[in-house]
Amino acid sequence: MTKRDEGYFSAKDGTRLFWRSAVPDAAPKAWVGVVHGYGDHSGRYLWVIDQLVAAGFGVMAFDYRGHGKADGRRADVLVWDDYLGDLSLFYGKLETAAAGLPIVLLAHSHGALMATHFVANGKPPSLKALVLSAPFYKLAFEPPALKLFGARLIKGLMPGLHLSNELKVEDLSRDPAWQKSSAEDPIYLHVTTPRWFFACADAQARLAGKGAAITLPLIVVAGTGDRIASMPAARAFFDTVASTDKTWKDYSDFRHEVLCELEKERPMADIVAWISAHL
């Protein structure tokens, strides 16, 4: 029977963050840390967690500031690198749980942007591989110029103002059940702030040249129908990654949430097999 646990830990500035874990009956062969996307939370990854546990991995996921069960103003961040601080502290908890076993990070979208910076800034020795789902290195569409101009004005006056992110649940997945779940989830966020938007854009720009610092095994799973994150931009960065062991996997017509799609079993099986081959 899977052993589950959850709790809270504090960020460097005292913000309360949330974690959850799941461990198989037998001793795990490795640990996987799950990093959710923007507006997202770890509770939306329960199926993914269960698949990893069934494959013999211990799993820990967390909600970073402003998301899910964590504290912090919803959908906002004062400084984007606060997310990296949250991830670093989470990784420390994951490392303690792993107790010397290999660790893999599985990160989605905005979480993948965080994980990419985290690894490029200096990979912990215990981290053996990186799995990225639909990395958010650039929007898949160009926001209207007038809207961008307005956002810049608002940023100067009310940087934390909640605005609709204007994303449709149909952009997340082709699965009607998942669309319904996303629309009804009380802690899934449908808003953004000008401060986050421009801070995130800056973090994306700061990725330039960082591919050379990433040398660990890497797999990216991407949907050809992603309407949110630009997969051409993600592929362009992927091509700069210095690792000699890197894999790009496309899934035809899949939208942004590759692991919450129709036929999600396919990429999940590919990820489990890839992780197992890299331990």
pLDDT tens, position by position, 59-89: 999 999 999 999 999 999 999 999 999 999 9
Q: Which domains does the chain have, with CATH numbers?
A: 3-277 (3.40.50.1820)
What pLDDT was estimated at residue 146?
Answer: 52
User: Cβ contacts of residue 97 below 8 Å, gap of 6+?
Assistant: 21, 31, 58, 60
Residue 243: CB partners within 8 Å, gap ≥ 6? 214, 215, 216, 217, 218
* Across 268-273, average pLDDT: 98
| pLDDT confidence of residue 163 | 81
pLDDT tens track for 152-208: 767 776 787 888 787 899 999 999 999 999 999 999 999 999 999 999 999 999 999
Q: How far is residue 105's CA from residue 95's CA, in Å, rounded to a whole number?
A: 11
Estimate to the nearest angstrom the gap between the alpha carbon of 264 and the chain centroid. 17
* Mean predicted confidence (pLDDT) in 107-128: 97
pLDDT at 144 over 80: no
Alpha-carbon gap, residue 116 to 132, rounded angstroms: 9
Q: Report the alpha-carbon distance of residue 96 to residue 19 in Å, rounded.
A: 13
Integer CA distances (angstroms), 238 to 8, 31, 112, 217, in order:
34, 24, 12, 12
**DSSP assignment of 93-119:** HHHHHHTTS-EEEEEETHHHHHHHHHH
3-state secondary structure of 165: coil
Q: Is the pTM of this model over 0.85?
A: yes
Give start and end residues of each alpha helix (H) in the chain. 46-54, 81-98, 110-120, 145-157, 176-184, 194-205, 231-240, 265-277
Say yes or no to pLDDT of 149 above 80. no
What is the number of other CB atoms lying within 10 angstroms of the CB of residue 276?
13
Task: Map residue 239 onto helix, strand or coil.
Answer: helix
Percent with pLDDT over 90 in the chain:
89
**pLDDT beyond 70 at 145:** no
What confidence category does residue 4 fall into, taking pLDDT thresholds of 50, 70 and 90? Answer: very high
